[in-house]
């Protein structure tokens, strides 16, 4: 074959290779356009999900959320009520996530996207398994690219990875999934309150019914003592308004801590009272609440107090330190000079 013929053959070969590459890219891009904007998890019925398992690095089970007839609960917290809003938000994000970009299908590259094997101790992201009557579905949630509201994902049983148009909030601690609403009682409902410490120190306060503002008067103010503020005792009452929990402990486990503890007691105009036994576990602050129903309560007030009692029964609650301190006031906290009276 002459040099001229070889040159022509080389040019033709190059043209064929170029055309092949162009056609491949056109087909690939055309195929990509077909799935872009489509749902990542098609046919996911979030209303049929009855359990969610969250697994972390090292294949360690972190959280199990389970739906029972009474509602969603956190299994690691003896099925204490879960934050339904957080669960629904996760399920909606999973069901509404749309494909933005096709990523690697090479398992060796998955770790770069936070999608590597969850059994590795240095794995990133989470494995989320959804259970329903139809079976289970596991997905790997990876990292998010810088500056984008998107996340790398893949089905746990598939190598193909994707970038979807969602970020996912998946707390790894069971307590972060709890319904944190604990008490929501207005100060105007409190008629009387007291705190008694193990050493016998007692502070008693009462609200004047005819008062236009919510101010509590100290009933046993020591002779000659001066309050830092006429509203000094309001701090104790405010502790039970919009009180949130940080974690829960079964009452059976709390019993060992309930000897020689401070007790705060609140009486309400509706006729019932609330007692809080306050204790600490290390730096964490807890309260064990008990509702005492009164006599001659209206049917409505009785029902409301009974509902509160059932909500609090069987648990001790980890509460913010500031709330715990407010319930456990001492004379040194509310008197001028900061000293306990003789």
Q: What is the pLDDT of residues 306-338, one digit of tens each?
A: 999 999 999 999 999 999 999 999 999 999 986
What is the band of 33 on the pLDDT scale with cuts at 50, 70, 90? low
Q: Please report the pLDDT score of residue 191 as a whole number.
A: 94
- Of residues 330, 316, 317, the one with CA closest to residue 264: 330
165 shares a domain with 194: no
- The two most distant CA atoms of the chain are separated, in Å, by 121
**12 falls within a domain:** no
11-20, 37-46, 243-252, 286-295: least confidently modelled range:
11-20
**What does the pLDDT look like over 52-99, one tens digit per residue?**
999 999 999 999 999 999 999 999 999 999 999 999 999 999 999 999
Token pair for residue 305? 């107090």
Question: Distances in Å between the alpha carbon of 309 and those of 81, 176, 314?
Answer: 15, 24, 10
101 shares a domain with 62: yes
124/56 Cα distance (integer angstroms): 8
Residue 129 in contact with residue 138, Cβ under 8 Å?
A: yes
185 shares a domain with 330: yes
Cβ of 153: how many Cβ atoms within 10 Å?
26
Task: Please say which residue of 177, 200, 227 terminates a domain.
Answer: 177
**19 falls within a domain:** no
**2 falls within a domain:** no
Q: Please report the pLDDT score of residue 211 as a whole number.
A: 63
Tokens 């170029």, located at residue: 18
187 shares a domain with 50: no
279 shares a domain with 246: yes
Task: Please say which residue of 177, 201, 219 terminates a domain.
Answer: 177
**291 falls within a domain:** yes
- Of residues 184, 333, 178, 197, the one with CA closest to residue 261: 197
Task: Please say which residue of 177, 205, 224 terminates a domain.
Answer: 177
160 shares a domain with 248: no
115/211 Cα distance (integer angstroms): 63
230 shares a domain with 145: no
* DSSP-derived secondary structure letter, 179: -
- Of residues 239, 228, 231, 216, the one with CA closest to residue 331: 228
Token pair for residue 28? 């690939």
77 shares a domain with 141: yes
224 shares a domain with 161: no
**289 falls within a domain:** yes
**22 falls within a domain:** no
100/37 Cα distance (integer angstroms): 6
Name the pTM for this structure.
0.85
300 shares a domain with 156: no
Q: What is the share, in percent, of the chain residues with pLDDT greater than 90? A: 82
**What does the pLDDT look like over 138-149, one tens digit per residue?**
999 999 999 899
**283 falls within a domain:** yes
Residue 197 in contact with residue 328, Cβ under 8 Å?
A: yes
Q: Return the SS3 of 31.
A: helix
266 shares a domain with 147: no
Domain that holds residue 151: 46-177
3-state secondary structure 150-166: CEEEEECCCCCCEEECC
219 shares a domain with 84: no
Q: Please report the pLDDT score of residue 213 as a whole number.
A: 75
**116 falls within a domain:** yes
Q: Please report the pLDDT score of residue 337 as a whole number.
A: 81
Phi–psi pair at 133, nearest 5 degrees: -65, -25
215/286: higher pLDDT = 286
Mean pLDDT of the chain: 90
How many domains are there within the chain?
Answer: 2
Residue 333 in contact with residue 203, Cβ under 8 Å?
A: no
CA atoms within 13 A on the CB side of 215: 9
């Amino acid at each position: 074959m002459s040099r001229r013929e070889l040159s022509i053959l080389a040019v033709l070969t190059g043209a064929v290779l170029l055309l092949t590459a162009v056609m491949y890219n056109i087909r690939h891009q055309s195929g990509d356009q077909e799935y872009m904007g489509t749902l990542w998890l098609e046919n996911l019925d979030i209303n049929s999900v009855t359990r969610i398992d969250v697994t972390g690095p090292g294949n360690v089970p972190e959280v199990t959320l389970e739906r029972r007839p009474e509602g969603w609960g956190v299994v690691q917290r003896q099925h204490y009520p879960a934050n339904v809003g957080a669960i629904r938000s996760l399920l909606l994000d999973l069901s509404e996530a749309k494909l933005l970009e096709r990523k690697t299908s090479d398992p060796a590259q998955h770790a770069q996207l936070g999608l590597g094997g969850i059994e590795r101790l240095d794995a990133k992201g989470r494995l989320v398994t959804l259970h329903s009557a139809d079976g289970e579905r596991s997905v790997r949630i990876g990292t998010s690219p810088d500056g984008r509201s998107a996340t790398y994902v893949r089905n746990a049983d598939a190598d193909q990875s994707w970038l979807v148009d969602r970020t996912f909030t998946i707390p790894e601690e069971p307590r972060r999934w709890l319904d944190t609403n604990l008490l929501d009682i207005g100060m105007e409902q409190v008629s009387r309150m007291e705190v008694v410490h193990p050493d016998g120190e007692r502070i008693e306060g009462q609200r004047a019914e005819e008062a236009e503002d919510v101010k509590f008067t100290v009933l046993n103010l020591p002779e000659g003592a001066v309050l830092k503020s006429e509203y000094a005792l309001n701090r104790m009452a405010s502790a039970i308004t919009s009180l949130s929990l940080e974690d829960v402990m079964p009452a059976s486990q709390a019993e060992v801590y309930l000897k020689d503890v401070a007790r705060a007691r609140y009486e309400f105009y509706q006729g019932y009272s609330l007692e809080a036994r306050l204790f600490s576990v290390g730096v964490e602050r807890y309260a064990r609440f008990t509702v005492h129903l009164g006599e001659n309560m209206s049917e409505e007030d009785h029902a409301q107090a009974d509902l509160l009692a059932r909500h609090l029964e069987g648990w001790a609650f980890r509460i913010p330190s500031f709330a715990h301190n407010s319930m456990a006031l001492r004379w040194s906290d509310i008197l001028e000079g900061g000293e306990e009276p003789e």
